[in-house]
Amino acid sequence: MKVDLSDPYIRALRAPDIGRIEISDAKRRGLRLRLYAASLLFPKGKAVWMYEKRVKGGKKRKHTLGTWPELSLASARAEALEIEVEAAKGIDRVSVAQENRLEAEAALASLSTVQQVIDTYDRLHLSALRTGMERKRAIEKALSRHLGKSIAKLTRKDIQEAIDAKAMEGYKVYANRIRSMLLALTNWAWQRGYIETPIGAGIPKATSETARERVLSISETQQIWQATYSMGVLWGPFLRLMLLTGQRRAEIAKLRWVQVDFEKRRLIKAGSETKNGKPHITHLSPPAMSEIQMMEPNGSEYIFTTNGKTPISGFSRMKRSFDRLLGNDFEHWRLHDIRTAMATALAESGEPETVVDRILNHSASGSAPSAVARVYNQAQQLPQRAQALDRWAELVTGECSKIVYVGDYSA
């Protein structure tokens, strides 16, 4: 509503029970008093002056002038008039403020080091990602020679050299991952004025990638299983638990004691702790249960840790040592191939695709469910998954065990 506002009128106003109301000033067109309902911060409600005016030849802009009674009616009208005069001359306060802010950020950016920008990138972006910690470490390692220099002096050549260095180590596919991470960082830095141009744009991939077709045979899987017993008391159990559960490397590496249900023999992970964001239950076959029971807590929340504070790391170094144990005749493979081997073996043994996909915690690719099915078919098939994982454990270890289900497998 529109009212010829006065101080007594405003003092007599009462905040709404919910939401907000607006009262327009009949004397100064575009000026409004916005009243908000009471809240914890403002038990008596809150009154805010707003002014809206179109800039000559430009956009209509909204301005928040301040709160009443700190900003009086007379002062609000005076400031609204000042904005009106500026708008008539084509002066856009919002654009001017944005330009000033960007100039200030650019000036500050020129003083920021590469490490400082990475830290800011981590706080504003990476920290919200499940793999944010690993990405930050990878970026810092790739740019280790440049962390102390000004971000404004980081060049396209520096980015290319970091990618090429990883490719020359023989990790061309991982070099592509480094490229993606560095391009994301530099594009973020450019958008915020830390650097003048997107220096990573157009840098080619280290190698072209094709879908991986490597499938470990049962005999190869058993050979890997046997070799794990030469990998020590930390990496050995870690590798064996990966083999027996078919879970992702990071999800086993970050496994915490509170995620193990010893009574029901299962791993329980929340959606925030899995790659696809979905909560997941993994049955523990007798051999898998034994691997966890052999580990010592030692006061750490993590099952697999070297310092008691963080999960294990150094997978590339571990894999190189493990490959030497397997010998040169063993065809090149990756840890992720374990999941493919499990899926293939279980499918060939007659397990339904839905059971296998739920074990691996991803959606079926060959028979994707309809939108309706995704909503209403929430059956987790836990007993079937337990039976399949026990069968897989027998294939991997070459030993038959009596299958005993413990606990209620309802969700």
Burial (0-12, 13-18, 19+ Cβ within 10 Å), 394: middle
Q: What sign has the CA pseudo-torsion 242, 245, 246, 248? A: negative
Provide the pLDDT for residue 41: 75
Provide the pLDDT for residue 254: 93
Judge: domain 2-91, CATH 3.30.160.390.
yes
93-210 and 218-397 in the same fold: no
169-179 per-position pLDDT tens digit: 888 888 999 99
> Rounded CA gap, 167 and 157, in Å?
15
363-380 per-position pLDDT tens digit: 544 444 444 434 334 447
Nearest alpha carbon to residue 227 among 21, 365, 396: 396
Determine what percent of the chain is predicted with pLDDT higher than 70: 90
Confidence of residue 390 (pLDDT cuts 50, 70, 90): very high
Provide the pLDDT for residue 370: 42
Upper half-sphere CA count for residue 332 (Cβ side, 13 Å) = 4
Bond preceding residue 352 cis, omega within 30 of 0: no
Of the two residues 375 and 101, the one the predictor is more confident about is: 101
φ, ψ for residue 304 (rounded to 5)? -110, 105
CATH of 218-397, one of 1.10.443.10, 3.40.47.10, 3.20.20.70, 3.40.50.300: 1.10.443.10
211-265 per-position pLDDT tens digit: 666 789 999 999 999 999 999 999 999 999 999 999 999 999 999 999 999 999 9
Provide the pLDDT for residue 105: 66
What DSSP letter does each residue of 3-42 carry, written as one string? E---HHHHHH----SSSEEEEEESSSTTEEEEEE---SS-
Confidence of residue 402 (pLDDT cuts 50, 70, 90): very low
Q: In what order do the strands lie in the sheet with 31-36?
A: 2-3, 20-25, 31-36, 46-54, 60-68
> Rounded CA gap, 242 and 238, in Å?
6
Residues in the chain, total = 411
Judge: domain 93-210, CATH 1.10.1060.
no
Strand partners, 60: 54
Provide the pLDDT for residue 110: 58
Average pLDDT on 199-221 reads 85
Q: In what order do the strands lie in the sheet with 266-269?
A: 260-261, 266-269, 280-283
For 392, other C-beta atoms within 10 Å of its C-beta total: 26
pLDDT for residue 19 is more than 70: yes
pLDDT for residue 135 is more than 50: yes
Contact indicator for 364, 373 with CB cutoff of 8 Å: no
Average pLDDT on 151-168 reads 93
Q: Identify the weakest region by mean pLDDT among 84-98, 295-309, 395-409.
A: 395-409
Strand partners, 150: 113
Q: What is the largest CA-CA distance in the chain?
A: 92
Provide the pLDDT for residue 164: 94
pLDDT for residue 410 is more than 80: no
Provide the pLDDT for residue 219: 92
pLDDT for residue 403 is more than 50: no
Burial (0-12, 13-18, 19+ Cβ within 10 Å), 246: buried
Contact indicator for 259, 269 with CB cutoff of 8 Å: yes
Q: Identify the weakest region by mean pLDDT among 100-114, 241-255, 278-292, 315-329.
A: 100-114
> Rounded CA gap, 134 and 189, in Å?
19
Residue with tokens 């990071």: 250
Tell me, what DSSP letter sits at residue 63? Answer: E
List the domain boundaries for the chain: 2-91, 93-210, 218-397
Q: Helix %, strand %, coil % for the chain, to 5?
A: 50, 10, 40
pTM for this one? 0.53
> Reduced to 3 states, what is the DSSP secondary structure of residue 85?
helix
Q: How high is the mean pLDDT of the chain?
A: 86
